[in-house]
A and B are shown apart, each in its own frame.
Chain A
């Protein structure tokens, strides 16, 4: 017994050391982005590895912000080109560096997609879990099948559809398909299953309307699910590079990910500039993740348990 516990102790120490090394390896890219963003050019092109900036400078950010400018915010009215012939934009605010504008676009896109997804998915998930309407079996099967579908397969038709709706190069063209993606409905169905039928029955007997039952009884009970879905949708939408790449073509509608990718294609040698862009693209979302990570962990787990 003694040798065995000795061996398992040695294994434990070994595994902790290995874990720490791996953690450092996983942290390295982020460390490299942040330090790279503040390094002077001399450090970046040095022949010897420079692990820590010899001097912290903001030149890279200056370059990033001075490159291009755009109005702080333009809201594209969905479907407006149908009625006005061309897209209608509300321009708001002063002219700012384009990178800020990209950030504003990204936040708008992610927040809008998040709000719409949470509302529609909470309603649909509740209906699928608790309403015995005809056809729900088929609908649910369709949702599960669509979840396994490779998303990119539908992109060409989606592109044609957005062209027909005159939504090309419009943030709504990225937002709408995100709302349609059925994972949220699936997740909210899992959460809604746990609502006791007796409570809903009691509400009905008391004469509560369907909508009232939903807002006063169902929503509070599935709140953790909504929280998880919100943060999940937010991060996914923020990082959904492929969809953004296909749908958005013009500078002022770019998201931060797309902006950085374009910068890379244009100036693939200015690593400091690229790191500044990467820092701008990733640090906000990482902070949001760290704040809400408890909901997030719960959400991914819940979606899989019964899946």
Chain B
């Protein structure tokens, strides 16, 4: 299949580098550069997806990850091939960071045969068994018990894999999250809960939806430790995740609350009346995770202008190629309507 194509088209390099993760040690130039590339790939991919949505090539719901790139890139950098990942519907960045092919993701957005779900899932429903990426789930917080179940399967099979469950600040108020925290702690399951607090559950600010002293503290009653992390700083994310993943792997579930921000609306049809343009501009100007890492790379001498330019060009090429593929891939055959409802018994 086209999505298992050349290395060059591979979505991101986080997985490849992940195995070299050295807990506690400052990441070297190579790792910093790969994170920069992975974040930039997500940024450019999402910008293109937004553009294609505007052109009518992508339909339905489409939730962009722009602004939050450091979260998934920093965390995926701590995982290995044996670990599993599940998330909600703002999932394009997670798929790219999990090493899924940009072509397959973009072609799923356009609802084509070359998409990860052969056009039957769309933006919110993509999966890759090969990459242990278990979705892509459209119901707020439904992925949380699923992720605990994946952790259960690791433990049951005697593997040392960790299950990482991403969910948002909105999902953090759902009842099933607390049923899941209870089960994970009670059964000592290898699960890391990552709360991506991007400040708004659709149009409702966290302060208007969540009581208490912070989402990271919500595991307290279950004995699950939580940490608040600057989710706009990939190095801070990586450092926190290195520790938390190790804890989870040992059967001590953990929570990381990532303070992050989405620049775009909740979905493509969001007029964003609930926040000011100044607020968004201030975040972009002062906190942008990609600009921040770019500054580190340059000021600390990890990379010269040429190296960064080359990454820019590589990323643009991957995204253009994915967009072209997603436009050219045919719609699924009408016979696909009836396939994949049940597996043959």
Are both chains from one complex? no
Residues on A lying within 8 angstroms of B by beta carbon are none
